[in-house]
A and B are shown apart, each in its own frame.
Chain A
């Protein structure tokens, strides 16, 4: 049966497809992650969390032809889970990689990560699991690539912007901002108002700008 829907993954666990029981990959994962095997995962090889799962493409799949492509498309159409595709990129399967990447990343909008063998796949899965666990425990600040919202003061940037007006240096910029407060009001200032602040020549330059 083609199943690609979500299943409930207990916190900190990985649910693996029954077909991986006893494999080199499973042996390397055991002890590092809490691995449970389940039947009927269908298209998915491993569930890392309720919303993230892994599909593995072996070197043999790549060489065998297009069957794996149909599997990926079926998954994409049937599931809203975040699918991470791990592909075995070896000297033999290397030539297929650009085509697979175009399909998976550019056309299907999924994640694709290459590994050289099952050993590397297990190491990568362990890291993916640890990121998933951190995400679930809402410890998002631990991810160095997730943007932290911080309010930055607009004042230094405003001062910089006004200094980009020809003929305006730091001191004139300060005078202008103190008098007109915002860029919008500065833009709408009449020439005589500018003259009062910075003198005739500069006022003319600012006005034409």
Chain B
């Protein structure tokens, strides 16, 4: 449990005063796949790490930047291609900026260091990522990945894009957050911002595009998409048919 009160944490902090106000959201799967990343972020770099069910990316570093951690072997295998491209395309709909950290696979004790065979496929994936505007960082281990995440968070903080709202809503706020999270293409960070900046869902629903952009810290096109969704007229005919049978 964080020590600070959830009311104004972060907001009142002076930009430039570093570590304690830096916050990173981590996907709960990282508890299993990147435990040293998480503990390094907390213990070495003194970041506030909130583990939550992000689903979309491994980390959210600021209001606009999502980071995915990929093992080098995952980029080597063509079997992963469609999964990876679906995941990154989805991220592009939600975040302004995307970064992947390519981490060298760990050599298990007793295993001789496997020689990394660079394939044409691997180079092709890197080239396609570069062309798609995805930022790529390389890391040799989980500790280094944590250091890179901290650097990214620091950079985003300097650009005034850091996550500065309480990340653990309680009670009724949790239900409200769950409601916001069901809105398509809205990031976990934006949903938290909505919880924090608006008194109620009704206030959100009645807001203008600029007010939504400011309150949720969204880009103009993203705020427009949210605005459209809130005002979209439901048409029963457009639900996918047949309706999925429930509980059967």
Name A's B-contacting residues (CB within 8 A). 84, 97-98, 101-102, 105-106, 111-116, 120, 123-124, 126-128, 130-132, 135, 143-148, 152-161, 163-166, 170, 174, 177-178, 181-184, 187-188, 209
The answer to whether B136 touches A181 (Cβ under 8 A) is no
Chosen A-B contacts, 11 in total, with CB atoms closer than 8 Å, are A111-B130, A124-B123, A127-B126, A128-B127, A131-B127, A132-B131, A158-B234, A159-B234, A177-B236, A181-B234, A187-B202
- Which of A98, A161, A164 lies in contact with B175, CB distance below 8 A? A164
The answer to whether B136 touches A113 (Cβ under 8 A) is yes
**C-alpha gap A124/B127 in the complex (Å):** 8
The number of chain B residues touching the other chain, given as a range, is 35 or more
The answer to whether A152 touches B144 (Cβ under 8 A) is no
- Report B9 CB to chain A, min CB distance, Å: 25
The answer to whether A188 touches B205 (Cβ under 8 A) is yes
The answer to whether B201 touches A145 (Cβ under 8 A) is no
- Report A142 CB to chain B, min CB distance, Å: 9
The answer to whether B123 touches A123 (Cβ under 8 A) is yes
B219-248 vs A, Cβ < 8 Å mask (1 yes, 0 no): 000000000111111111011100000100
- Report A99 CB to chain B, min CB distance, Å: 12
Known: A170-B246, A181-B234. A154 touches B123 (CB 8 A): no
- Chain B CB count within 10 A is highest, among A97, A120, A156, A164, for A164
Residues 80-102 (chain B) with a chain A CB within 8 angstroms:
81-82, 84-85, 88-89, 92-93
- Which of B88, B89, B246 lies in contact with A148, CB distance below 8 A? B89
Residues of B with C-beta under 8 A to A126: 123
B104-127 vs A, Cβ < 8 Å mask (1 yes, 0 no): 000000000000001010011011
Number of interchain pairs (Cβ within 8 Å): 144
Residues of B with C-beta under 8 A to A116: 118
The answer to whether B136 touches A111 (Cβ under 8 A) is yes
The answer to whether A157 touches B182 (Cβ under 8 A) is yes
- Interface majority SS on A: helix, strand, loop or mixed? helix
Residues of B with C-beta under 8 A to A105: 135-137
The answer to whether A184 touches B230 (Cβ under 8 A) is yes
Cβ-closest chain A residue relative to B86: A144
The answer to whether B179 touches A165 (Cβ under 8 A) is yes
Q: Does B129 make an interface contact (CB < 8 A)?
A: yes
The answer to whether B230 touches A131 (Cβ under 8 A) is no
The answer to whether A177 touches B234 (Cβ under 8 A) is yes
**C-alpha gap A164/B231 in the complex (Å):** 18
Q: Does B155 make an interface contact (CB < 8 A)?
A: yes
Known: A144-B81, A145-B89, A183-B230. A155 touches B127 (CB 8 A): no
Known: A156-B239, A181-B234. A131 touches B130 (CB 8 A): yes
- Which of B128, B135, B228 lies in contact with A145, CB distance below 8 A? B128
**C-alpha gap A178/B123 in the complex (Å):** 52
Cβ-closest chain B residue relative to A132: B131
- Report A163 CB to chain B, min CB distance, Å: 8
- Report B55 CB to chain A, min CB distance, Å: 14
Q: Does B151 make an interface contact (CB < 8 A)?
A: yes
- Report B175 CB to chain A, min CB distance, Å: 6
- Report B87 CB to chain A, min CB distance, Å: 10
Known: A111-B130, A116-B118, A187-B202. A155 touches B234 (CB 8 A): yes
Residues of B with C-beta under 8 A to A98: 144, 147
